[in-house]
Amino acid sequence: DTAVSQTPKYLVTQMGNDKSIKCEQNLGHDTMYWYKQDSKKFLKIMFSYNNKELIINETVPNRFSPKSPDKAHLNLHINSLELGDSAVYFCASSPYLRGSYEQYFGPGTRLTVT
């Protein structure tokens, strides 16, 4: 019944490693997002996809690469992890791209880089 799910919930890894976070939504939404929430709780959009097409690509290091195999899934791969990548990453979805619709957030993935 979970609307937007993310795996894993917690991720602890060492600097230099590569890791992936997976996101799935069962709401039938067209648009999906990745957000980063830093230690001060500031939420910033990283990417958005609409029907598998990249729409928003904020100023994010190219070590971060999103992939959308279909419109229900949006994964985030991070290469060469750095200490500053430690944060909570949220996936979200909304029904459509145009117009303003509620964004449904997943439970988050807490990434800790040591």
Partner 1 sequence: QQQVKQSPQSLIVQKGGISIINCAYENTAFDYFPWYQQFPGKGPALLIAIRPDVSEKKEGRFTISFNKSAKQFSLHIMDSQPGDSATYFCAASIEFGSSNTGKLIFGQGTTLQVKP
Site for partner 1 in 79-98 (CB under 8 A): 90, 92, 94, 97-98
Nearest distance from C-beta of residue 102 to partner 1, angstroms: 4
> Taking CB under 8 A as the rule, which mask of x and - marks residues 19-38 in contact with partner 1?
------------x-x-----
| Residue 72 engages partner 1 in binding (rule: CB under 8 A) | no
Count of residues touching partner 1 (by CB under 8 A): 28
Which residue shows structure tokens 């890894």?
A: 13
Any contact of residue 40 with partner 1 (CB under 8 A)? Answer: yes
- The CA distances from residue 29 to 39, 88, 107, 113, in Å, are 29, 23, 17, 32
Q: Please report where in the chains the tokens 């899934």 appear, as a residue.
A: 73
Rounded Cα distance, 31 and 33, in Å: 7
The number of beta carbons lying within 10 Å of the beta carbon of residue 77 is: 14
The token pair that represents 8 in the structure block:
């894993």
Binding site for partner 1 (CB under 8 A): 4, 31, 33, 40-45, 48, 50, 55-56, 90, 92, 94, 97-108
